[in-house]
Amino acid sequence: MTISVQNKQYLNFINGKGVPSSSQEMMESLNPANKKEAVGYVQKSTLEDLNIAVKAAKQAQEKWKRLSGADRGQYLHKAADIMENRLDEIAECATREMGKTLAETKGETARGIAILRYYAGEGMRKMGDVIPSTDAEALMFTSRVPLGVVGVITPWNFPIAIPIWKIAPALVYGNTIIIKPATETAITCAKIIECFEEAKIPAGVVNMITGSGSIIGQAIAEHPEINAITFTGSDRVGKQIGQKAFVRGAKYQLEMGGKNPVIVAADADLDLAVEGTISGAFRSTGQKCTATSRVIVQHEVYEKFKQKLLAKTKEI
């Protein structure tokens, strides 16, 4: 693969090939379970690198949008097949890089494959509607059109599913993309991009830039030739991105954190409530925007619930 080189180093993927950053600097991605182990190294990119990627995406978009939806969908099908063949490898990388269990990363990889196939099918579905008109000679209709270049900024907690559920719909509807993954899980994202590369998606349609959020993420939000941004991450950063996109009239989509309580009523099945609380709080190492962060318990069952919860937690 042209995106990966020796010694676990991964290049930016721009215009169909691996490209080293103009900074000539690398960043390491560490295993959270063993901070002495570097899972791999990725580029510390600059604004110059981003501008090259935007130019490639913009040039590729004209030809990409002229393909039929079915033809675009075929590339997603191919990428899904390749990912399925590499499921264990990608899942193991995600576990080492992010920290959730192998069973969970295998499930997430399988979900990513399913998302690719679902959106590949979107290429065969209707792209608009015919609307009744009071003028017998008039034909009124709507048709979806691509936005252009889409900037994709993804977090570390679902390093496979979140990139794919942002990339796949953007691609099948005729957009080209530039993805900046979280540095903590950039190696996993690189392996996903390798699947698109192996599927021979046209050069410039999919581009990956690795680097700091304060430099590359902010520049994606502000770049005048990036037509839309999709972001998953913190409230603080999401608000900043939304404001920057709004000012220049770009489309934007924000998925940010929440505070999610479990409510335990006095007549609840306490064993079931404990099971649900532990699953919500601790699965995916507790690092989900939907993670349980509070438990609100009616006072009549508070002590009994607390003891059951503590006992089950100690078993983990």
Q: What is the DSSP letter of 146?
A: -
210: nearest Cα among 177, 180, 254, 252: 180
**pLDDT higher than 90, residue 5:** no
Residue 289 annotated among the catalytic residues of the structure: yes
In the structure, what pLDDT confidence band is assigned to residue 1 with cuts at 50, 70 and 90? low
Q: How many CB atoms lie within 10 A of CB 213?
A: 18
Angle between helices 161-172 and 69-85 (to 10 degrees): 160
Q: What is the pTM of this model?
A: 0.89
Give the separation between CA 50 and CA 226, rounded to whole angstroms. 11
| CA angle, 80 then 58 then 144, to 5° | 65
Domains of the chain: 4-127+145-255 (3.40.605.10), 260-314 (no CATH)
Catalytic residue (choose from 222, 289, 303, 315): 289
Is-catalytic flag, 255? yes
Instruction: Give the number of other Cβ atoms within 10 Å of residue 8's Cβ.
Output: 14
pLDDT exceeds 90 at position 296: yes
Catalytic residue among 122, 198, 255, 275: 255
Average pLDDT, the chain: 94
Closest CA to 146 of 216, 205, 208: 205
Residues 114, 158: Cα–Cα separation, whole Å: 15
Amino acid present at 112: G
User: What gap in Å lies between CA 173 and CA 238, rounded to an integer?
Assistant: 24
Average pLDDT of the residues in 81-109 = 96
pLDDT digits (tens, 9 = 90+) for 255-275: 987 788 999 999 999 999 999
Q: Are 10 and 28 in contact (CB under 8 A)?
A: no
